Amino acid sequence: MTNTIVIAELNKGSIHSTTKELVSAAQMLGSSCTVVVPCTDSSVADSISSTSGVEKVIVAKSDIFANYDASGWASAIDSVTPEGIIIASASPQSKDLAARLAARRKVSVVQDVVAIQDGKLTSPVYSGKAMQTVSMSGNAVISVRQNVFDASPDGGSAEVSVIDASGNVATAVRELIARASARLDVSEANIIISGGRGMGSPDNFSHLEQIADTLGAAVGASRAAVDTWDDIPHSMQVGQTGKTVNPNLYIAVGISGAIQHLAGMRSSKYIVAINKDPDAPIFQHADYGIVATWEEALPVLQSSLSAMM
Ligand SMILES: Cc1cc2nc3c(=O)[nH]c(=O)nc-3n(C[C@H](O)[C@H](O)[C@H](O)COP(=O)(O)OP(=O)(O)OC[C@H]3O[C@@H](n4cnc5c(N)ncnc54)[C@H](O)[C@@H]3O)c2cc1C
């Protein structure tokens, strides 16, 4: 029987909903699922111990988990995690952690898994131009994209143990100074509306922000927008050299659909494209396409959404 160990994904001190999706993935790979929760406050583990399919919860408690630090986290988590297949989220931070855990344990890492069938893992390669399916022999570390699996429902009652994970850590990050932004980050969002160079000017992103506020969405951008305008930060960039996202709904406005942009958003559940050029490549990947300028389309979209909400 294969042990599976889920590394809980945390967001601002609470367990992120994707952790229950990771438990579903774990159930497809093994029989006994343990969840390791790296945290500073052990009460955060309550929400995961009642999840169906979780047999054991190991709360790895340490001050170092206040801020991400690659080597400190990998060392601390490795020291409390049992042998088995380790499953983490495919967020940028957890992909980094996954690779480091795999290196420490001298096992393979498979990143960005989007399907599991008969113990085989499918993930995109070459910026999403192809999909690979690999089988595992023995233990490995895998990262799973958000929104791929249904969340495991409530209904479990796992045994919870709390371990002090500070023991072997040489360095820790005391404080992170981030660029202040009140807006939701694209990697956290279930709905994203992104703008490209076709928006014409960074000021016009305010039209995207209005729609984002109505929908509870995050605002993203293409690399051309980020490279052209200083006001559009790299943290908004979606794509090969930006963030990989997997929301339920991705709205691309004034974005041509270059392969490098698609690499970061192609697996979104629904893609809507607004572009004035009917031949724009984005339309080949869109579930719904609107051939219009954003100046025509966005006010109509905004007023329909406001009426609905
Ligand atoms: C190594 C490498 C890595 C890269 N990484 C990334 C990445 O991570 N993310 C990324 O996005 N790109 C990336 N790129 C760049 C990528 O190749 C494209 O250049 C970029 O995605 C184009 O951005 P865009 O679609 O916004 O701009 P454009 O290609 O200029 O397209 C603008 C679109 O807007 C439309 N448009 C114009 N005006 C309007 C209007 N008024 N209303 C509606 N539509 C309008 C046009 O028809 C056009 O389709 C990378 C490139 C390389 C070489």
What CA–CA distance (Å, rounded) separates 139 from 145?
19
What CA–CA distance (Å, rounded) separates 193 from 219?
5
**Model pTM score:** 0.78
Ligand 1 centroid vs 299 CA: distance in angstroms? 22
pLDDT digits (tens, 9 = 90+) for 261-298: 999 999 899 999 999 999 999 999 999 999 999 999 99
Residue ranges lining ligand 1, Cβ < 6 Å: 196-198, 222-225, 237, 239-242, 254-256, 258, 260-261, 264, 274-277, 280, 293-295
Predicted confidence at residue 13, as pLDDT, reads: 82
Confidence bin at 188 (pLDDT 50/70/90): confident
Q: What is the average pLDDT across 82-105?
A: 96
CB-CB contact of 274 with 252 (8 Å):
yes
Determine which residue's CA is closest to atom 41 belonging to ligand 1.
293
Residue of 261, 282, 295 best suited for mutating to test ligand 1, as the one with most atoms within 8 Å of CB: 261
Predicted confidence at residue 237, as pLDDT, reads: 97
Stretch (H or E) spanning 99: helix 92-105
Instruction: Looking at the CA of residue 222, tell me the nearest atom of ligand 1.
Output: 11
Determine which residue's CA is closest to atom 26 belonging to ligand 1.
196
Predicted confidence at residue 11, as pLDDT, reads: 85
Residue of 129, 187, 193, 197 best suited for mutating to test ligand 1, as the one with most atoms within 8 Å of CB: 197
Predicted confidence at residue 187, as pLDDT, reads: 85
Stretch (H or E) spanning 25: helix 18-29
Position 180 pLDDT exceeds 90? no
Give the architecture (CATH level 2) of 3-164: 3-Layer(aba) Sandwich (3.40)
pLDDT digits (tens, 9 = 90+) for 226-267: 999 999 999 999 999 999 999 999 999 999 999 999 999 998
CB-CB contact of 5 with 87 (8 Å):
yes
Predicted confidence at residue 178, as pLDDT, reads: 64
Position 25 pLDDT exceeds 90? yes
Ligand 1 centroid vs 18 CA: distance in angstroms? 30
Domain ranges of the chain: 3-164, 186-308
Instruction: Looking at the CA of residue 293, tell me the nearest atom of ligand 1.
Output: 42
| CA dist list (Å): 22 to 29, 141, 292 | 11, 13, 40
Beta strands 54-61 and 159-164, pairing class:
parallel
| Backbone torsions φ then ψ of 14, nearest 5 degrees | -120, 160
Residue of 208, 229, 276 best suited for mutating to test ligand 1, as the one with most atoms within 8 Å of CB: 276
Residue of 192, 227, 255 best suited for mutating to test ligand 1, as the one with most atoms within 8 Å of CB: 255
Predicted confidence at residue 179, as pLDDT, reads: 61
Q: Do domains 3-164 and 186-308 have the same CATH topology?
A: yes
Predicted confidence at residue 35, as pLDDT, reads: 97
143, two tokens: 């990262």
Question: In whole numbers, what is the pLDDT of the chain averaged over residues?
Answer: 93
Ligand 1 centroid vs 147 CA: distance in angstroms? 25
What CA–CA distance (Å, rounded) separates 113 from 108?
13
CA 90, 92, 95, 101 dihedral sign is negative
Determine which residue's CA is closest to atom 29 belonging to ligand 1.
256
Domain 186-308 falls in which CATH fold? Rossmann fold (3.40.50)
Position 181 pLDDT exceeds 70? no
